[in-house]
Amino acid sequence: MCGIVGHIGSNNSVEKVLEGLKRLEYRGYDSAGVCFKDQSGELSLYKKTGKLVNLTNLLKNIDYGSSSSSVGHTRWATHGAVNDINSHPHLYKNLAIVHNGIIENADELKKDLVAKGFKFKSETDTEVFLGLLSFELEQEKDLLKATSSAFKKIKGSSAFVIQSKDSDGIITVKNGAPLVCGVNEILGEAMVSSDPYALMGFVEKIFFPDDDVICFLKKGEINFYDLDGTPSNRYLAKDLETNFEATTKGQFEHYMLKEIYEQPALIRNLVDNYFKDIDLNLEKPKRLHIVGCGTAFYAGMVVGQIWEKRLKIPVSMELASEFRYKDPLLLPGDLAIFISQSGETADTLAAQKLCKDRGIKTFSIVNVEGSSLFRAVDQNFLIHAGQEIGVASTKAFTQQVLTGRIICEAFADNKDFSSLKQKFSLLSHRIDELLNKAELFKDIASKIYNFGGFFFTGRGIYYPVALEGALKLKEIAYVHAEGYAAGELKHGPIALIDERMVNIAIVGPELFEKTLSNIQEVKARKGVIIGIGPEVSELRNICDLFIPLTFEGLEELSPLYVNVANQLLSYHIAKHKGTDIDRPRNLAKSVTVE
């Protein structure tokens, strides 16, 4: 979480950093700040609680146009309250820093620094690094060496950008947190950021440094050093498209809605991207572990059911935060799939490292090319979802499941993808039809948004989308919602059912009768039933409100179709609630802390 940006080069440095922060705001929006070198070479600091717009308002009457070096930050608070003082950048004497991550031994280091006379202004762990750095600089008299010495003393995952009044460059270093640098040799500029998206259109070449590589950015060049000060080649270099158009909402009120509506086209693109020869560098596994967090984990649950049925191998679906600490049983011939939109989720990365260290082959289903996960695994399968800006994940879920479905077919050694291709086309067509029924979702949302709580229920292949539906609703509408296996309600949660409780009951053709009985049980206790299922009278008649779907031909892909209905419902409920749909409170898109 937190977005960091740094720039050195032409005079409009602050503008570029602000544009970078705008593109990174999905990473956190508790506060934002910028520090730049002014005309007299002094560091000028501006920071403000709340979204980036508060900072840009603060800067309205400030003359920053001539600055050619600046660092900026958008915060997702970890250490210390959300306020101006805890906002980044942090400034001490001639040094300014921005930080993404957590310093795990901050308390211990802080005691030492206080004893040495360092006066802390904020409650952040970041200031601990600033204190260390300033003491090291007093001794070393060299910013590179001081950065290295200070960085070696901290534990945890962090990325820093450091600006010094006395240096003609900016320095950046990271361990376990995302960071990418870029250069534009023609314009004589260099930039750094938490995500390549913030650099697009500004630089032509990007570099993903490995952990513990110090990058020294100057006008039009970057030099890399290992922590012992020797030049380093531990980075991945890539060219970047320079003619970039920032993603906009277009005709849509929110990015989330736009991303929901992009799904049919993305499914069609996936067909073009994958239904050729799929190169598998990996053997068919004896057992499979599928690992992810949140929405990516639920996508993994859908994928896992498909793989187990199709390949007849045992599949375990694992939450990365649990898997990494449970000392999992990993055997020769096992394969582990890591699913992630960002490719930067700390728990997912740690789980992948654990498998790699134990000699297990790993592959990713990931959206961000060049991300930490992308660079760590044996083979990557990109989901081709494009930039997902809405903090609540929508289109990535669909693409993750479909990519998993395709790879499964390749492992089954089926070279004829024609019937799967047809199923994908049918899915995109059905989702298109559903998206044309916006009025139905608006109407239902207007009738239920004020109820006391929501249970999403489903069985079998629909259980994971019941979980995902509840997650989406609570994230963006701030209402209490739970996802449950429909057959489990009677084992406890049914105690909560009364006339204030809504049951969003997902009923597919699989286990139709059984799911219907579960609905009857809720109905008998006065629960409000919103049915999502096939247009049949037994179902429609017991539902208070109904969303008819056509399942024929979709089979194992039908959970994705249902999920779009859930997405639309959550979106319209959130609209009634008046929440900040694209940037819900307390959340950040890329969870780079444990």
Residues that bind ligand F6R (CB under 6 A): 293-296, 340-342, 345, 348, 392-393, 471, 475, 590-591
Instruction: Select the residue whose beta carbon is closest to ligand F6R and give its number.
Output: 294
219 is a catalytic site residue: no
Q: Which of 2, 35, 293, 408 is catalytic?
A: 2
Which CB sits closer to ligand F6R, 3 or 294?
Answer: 294
Which CB sits closer to ligand F6R, 175 or 340?
Answer: 340
The CB density around residue 233, as the number of other CB atoms within 10 Å, is 9
The pairing of strands 158-164 and 95-101 is antiparallel
Residue pair 373/340 in contact by the 8 Å Cβ criterion: yes
C-alpha 438/C-alpha 444 separation (Å) is: 10
We find the least distance from the C-beta atom of residue 318 to ligand F6R, in angstroms, to be 13
Torsion of CA 517, 522, 524, 530, to 10 degrees: -90
Which CB sits closer to ligand F6R, 47 or 405?
Answer: 405
We find the least distance from the C-beta atom of residue 528 to ligand F6R, in angstroms, to be 25
490 is a catalytic site residue: no
Residue linked to tokens 């600089």:
137
Which CB sits closer to ligand F6R, 208 or 417?
Answer: 208
Which CB sits closer to ligand F6R, 189 or 344?
Answer: 344
C-alpha 215/C-alpha 145 separation (Å) is: 12
We find the least distance from the C-beta atom of residue 293 to ligand F6R, in angstroms, to be 4
Residue pair 127/150 in contact by the 8 Å Cβ criterion: no
User: Taking the CA of residue 144 as centre, how many other CA atoms within 13 Å lie in the half-sphere pointing to its CB?
Assistant: 16
Which CB sits closer to ligand F6R, 36 or 255?
Answer: 255
We find the least distance from the C-beta atom of residue 296 to ligand F6R, in angstroms, to be 4
C-alpha 45/C-alpha 133 separation (Å) is: 19
* Among 405, 501, 516, residue whose Cα is nearest residue 458: 516
* Among 386, 303, 387, 388, residue whose Cα is nearest residue 338: 303
We find the least distance from the C-beta atom of residue 549 to ligand F6R, in angstroms, to be 22
Which CB sits closer to ligand F6R, 122 or 348?
Answer: 348
Over its C-alpha atoms, the chain yields an Rg (Å, rounded) of 25
Angle, CA of 243, 590 and 441, to the nearest 5°: 90
We find the least distance from the C-beta atom of residue 1 to ligand F6R, in angstroms, to be 10
C-alpha 563/C-alpha 569 separation (Å) is: 10
Single-letter amino acid code for the residue at 112: D
C-alpha 368/C-alpha 386 separation (Å) is: 8
The pairing of strands 205-209 and 235-239 is antiparallel
We find the least distance from the C-beta atom of residue 506 to ligand F6R, in angstroms, to be 18
Catalytic residues: 2, 589
